[in-house]
Structure 1
Amino acid sequence: MTGLLVEVGRQLAERWISVLVLPGLLLTGELAVGLLVGQGDALSADRLVHEATDAARRVQDEGGAAVALAVLALLLAAGALGLAAQGVGRLVRAAWLGDWPRWAQAPRDRLADRRLQRWRDHHAEVAAAVGAGRDPSQAAGRRNRISLAPPVRPTWMGDRLAGADVRVFAEYDLDLAACWPRLWLVLPGDVREELRTASGALDGSTVLAGWAVLYALGGALWWPSAVAAVCVWSTAWVRGRGAVATFADLIESTVDLHGAALGAALGLGAPGLLGPELGAEITARCRKGA
């Protein structure tokens, strides 16, 4: 038991250092530079070396205890910034996926309605092209760049995930929200791991966006931090869109390939034959009349 506790403690310490402390040290360093040189001499290496040397000398003059406390304070500050980045990342995830708070309901609905109207316009172009015997691929591409299903969220990322539910229900009459916990239990281990990896990639991009927000706030002390914030946010945004698209595709693929296995596990239908009839039966069983 002692050995197990030591190993768990070691793993927790490694995770704390890699996830929270190490990324936070960079931002802590940027904030320290801002405090030392200010905005006017933000890019002055000579001023930075001079001020950092003076600060280090003052700490050393206070003795070994002061040095240890300074190092501890640095690590704690880096860890606190890491926790803050994760917290901000959760807010960013909600914003990206369109899960806006009630006080933002009005702009959320306006943006969702605007996206829906644009989607309907392009969908009408697709129908017109098909009716006239023309190639509808360009119009369909413009429509699908907005959303693969009628938009219900104010953001592309939100509709990309919400669209998976809509498309699955349209194809199989299967309520993904009600059936997903049961489907998860019948999935092979490698499929679960793929889904966890895709979800983790999305979480990682939102945490990276959280760091970008903190870098932007750090620009109040040192303006180059705001420049770094733009680069970090752009990277997080691109990664987030890619992660959402991959995650949504994997969700739909999981239903396509393993939905019938859920029906078989529930004693419904025949293995390998998922269709609207079986999907409706699975949905009714999972909803339990709700």
Structure 2
Amino acid sequence: MEGTLRWSLVTAVAPIAWGTNYFVTHEHLPAGVPLYGAILRALPAGLLLLAVCRRRPRGSWWGKSLVLGALNTSAFFTLIYVAAHRLPTSLASMIMATSPVVLMLLAWLLAAERPAVRALAGAAIGITGACLMLLTAAVRVDALGVAASVGAMVLSSVGYILAKRWAGEVDVLASTAWQLIAGSLILIPPAIVVEGAPPALDGDMLFGFAYVTVVATAVAFTAWFAGLKHLPAASVGLIGLLNPVTGVLLGTMLAGDTLTVRQLLGIALVLAGLLLGQPLFRRFRRRAPDPVVLSGQCVPATGRASARDRGPVP
């Protein structure tokens, strides 16, 4: 149980960091350059992790790094960049809040990891809470932004399951570094063709990219993939519900507002769903007490020796 709790707390670092990413991307990063935005976020993070682990891919991991990089970096970062600029943070976060169900279903199909009833119930409660938190007012719906957000969720979920299947082959730090670098390199040719020269960055943008590179990418993805390695996919998906909770709390704090009753109820439901679906409290089988040696006979401590076992009474 202690190990499960520890890895759950480690995993929680990722969605909390990602919950701040929508705001930073929307407010501090240049719009209209999703390909370069993804490269400038992922490549420095990958190189930073590579400098720490000092390991290169070997054998099949050259190909696996490309597959994971294409799904978890190239596609995900580009699409989430588009969604962050075309959708209100609340709507983008709400769409991503459905990812626990998608991750559970894909884990069942691709990794034979059948979700428990408690996990499904937790997902239903958590998603309901996310909707209460986020849909507090009319929001502008952009079709391309919604498509980008849904695409990012589905493609990254496939990548997460593949990363979980291959997690036992190499350490998490190395595999995270390889896929971030591979995904960045995949994006460089289309970025040059579609977006031309890299964008000029001012001090505010450099600060924004530094944050999303170190905190929302290098640290967050290492924590996330570590969770996928040690926890069931359903548990990891539910921990991801901390993403919209972080977004709501951050938005409220920056706006100087107070949380409404509806938002507080939504947060409570998200946390209740998250806890319900976690395997933190396992049922332990009662262990029989050690036997007691009595008059040369081995007798269970909870039982009484029979008259025959006790021998003659002095």
Shorter-chain TM-score range: under 0.3
Structure possessing the higher radius of gyration over alpha carbons:
1
Q: More relative contact order in 1 or in 2 (CA 8 Å, sep 6+)? A: 2
TM-score normalized by structure 2?
Answer: 0.23
More helix by share: 1
Give TM-score scaled by structure 1 length.
0.24
